[in-house]
Chains A and B, each alone.
Chain A
């Protein structure tokens, strides 16, 4: 039967096209629950939020059309969202800091750990240890590190360590100068494991023959790293980086737990601003505009993923 099935299946195709109407009904039934949920909870709300972003949105409903005023205020008249100066500040600027430092450090440390771990016997253990925070709620990570940063040299680990060198105590989360860096470090701690595991899998894919051949030809370990390993894992690196950038744009829990966006508004990020403006403050039109800005920031990622998907389909 298995032998007979390929020609038979080819023969069945015109038939299935013949009573295509019936087939469409089954497809519709299979798709229906998903389509309903997506329409009601994603697509209609997206249209509504887009419309509301051009409105004052009093009470969460259309109250007064204001054109682009929400967007103009957001970018020119709201120091909590964006203040262009030296140095710049605001939620959007903090996201820029996150994108640069969090993404770079995660990829860099992830690659470093992945490469070093291949040389030791306890590779699996070190990878599991670094990966562990991926399982933990951001809320718990926030508590763990708020305790480490606690501004008391008797009970806070970081200040106890700095105290050995006669520094501090430093209120890492209580000062606008340090709060962003302190939380970015926690974000890196939470996500390096993700980068490590993906890049480690990619490194395993490089054939040892290529590396051996390079070594026989007298290539140094340094040039092997930069001229063979890095180019061969450049696609996984870009995939990891894109995922991390998406994390940054959606980042909320860690900020909410560790600093509530403070002190003042100094550690706000865009997702925090959206929540803060819409719910405690009740500026719904303004909050809707921030949500749309978030969506627009994600569009380049969409293009990257669709391209990757299409190229995979061609090669498959």
Chain B
């Protein structure tokens, strides 16, 4: 009680002009440091964005910051990477890889998480602990046996191998996340539905899934970005050049045109566009999705 009164008094005394100035100067180190941090976090990306719109002859001659004194603008870099450098096809490959790689684990993890949360069966807790343990298995563990084992199936040259491996390695985290969410749903609701004769599948479809949209969406967004941005898994499990997604194509461009920054910049912005749209439109779910893994 006394604390709030003191706070109110301080706030009142701040109203005078000199107090305001003192307070602003007192806080200016904070503004300076935060401003500097803002610059460090924005300028590198801004530089690449500007470079992606500059003619490559300009890019070789001067830094992107000279755009202020010598403005020039072209879409040539985008046209060239999309058409002749195969980034357009790679964009489509990224979509073909990402959509099933997101939907499969979403469905499979939801089903398993429901069983772990709301159906009694022997060793249920043990199974859940094993799944938590599997969260830590690095993708590298599967590389050698899965590449060897999948070679005869032909899945490495279409999208089959990358879909299944992305799905499988996303499951432990997804099951963990969704089971912990499902278990917080009101028990009465689910038991009442059981009394009314609803089947488990019915309860799953009509009660659990609709009530868990935020958690499922967070996991979906997390998995979407993970697979969209992934480089390593595609290097290993997509073994046909025409099927490679954008990150792999960009590393190939980097090998061929080591200092053609205009082209590399345009290609990099094309791979960034989709996650940035997701970030700005679904920021709430996005942050939740990224945080869900570490903080419940």
Measured CB to CB, the residues of A under 8 A from B are 1-2, 5-6, 8-9, 12, 16-17, 20, 23-24, 26-28, 30-31, 33-35, 37-38, 40-46, 48-49, 52, 57, 60-61, 112-113, 116-117, 119-120, 122, 126, 128-140, 143-148, 150, 154-157, 160, 189, 194, 197-198, 201, 209, 212-213, 215-216, 236, 239-240, 242-243, 246, 249-250, 252-253, 256-257, 271, 274-275, 278-279, 284, 287-288, 290-292, 294-295, 298-299, 301-302, 305-306, 309, 312
Contacts and interface: CB of A to CB of B under 8 A. Distances in A.
A38 B172 contact: yes
B132 A278 contact: no
Contacts of B42: 129
B275 A136 contact: yes
Interface in B101-133: 107-109, 111-112, 114-116, 119-122, 124, 127, 129, 131-133
Contact of A278 (B51, B144, B204, B296): B144
A174 to B, nearest CB: 11
A242 to B, nearest CB: 8
B97 interface: no
27 contacts: A5-B188, A8-B191, A23-B121, A26-B200, A30-B119, A30-B200, A38-B131, A41-B146, A42-B168, A42-B169, A46-B142, A116-B30, A126-B38, A135-B275, A140-B272, A148-B44, A157-B47, A160-B63, A189-B41, A212-B4, A252-B232, A256-B251, A278-B144, A288-B144, A294-B138, A295-B141, A302-B132
Given A147-B47, A201-B295, A24 B231 contact: no
Given A139-B229, A139-B268, A49 B142 contact: yes
A236 B134 CA distance: 23
A253 B141 CA distance: 17
A240 B272 contact: no
Given A44-B145, A140-B272, A143-B250, 11 more contacts: A30-B112, A37-B167, A60-B148, A113-B37, A131-B287, A135-B275, A137-B247, A189-B44, A253-B230, A275-B143, A284-B144
Contacts of B295: 198, 201, 236, 239
Contacts of B216: none
Contacts of B112: 30-31, 33-35
A291 B143 contact: yes
Given A33-B112, A37-B108, A139 B271 contact: yes
A6 B191 CA distance: 8
Contact of A154 (B33, B63, B168): B63
Given A240-B294, A287-B143, A1 B192 contact: yes
Nearest to B294: A243
Contacts of A156: 63
B25 to A, nearest CB: 14
B68 interface: no
Nearest first, the 10 closest Cβ-Cβ pairs linking A and B are: A9-B191, A41-B168, A137-B229, A30-B115, A34-B112, A27-B121, A212-B3, A48-B145, A139-B247, A45-B142
Q: Which of B146, B279, B283, B294 has the most CB of A within 10 A?
A: B294
Interface in B43-92: 43-45, 47-48, 51, 59-65
B209 interface: no
B198 interface: no
B40 A257 contact: no
B32 to A, nearest CB: 10
A257 B254 CA distance: 8
Main secondary structure of the interface of B (DSSP, over half): helix
A293 B132 CA distance: 19
Contacts of B254: 143, 146, 257
A161 B6 CA distance: 48
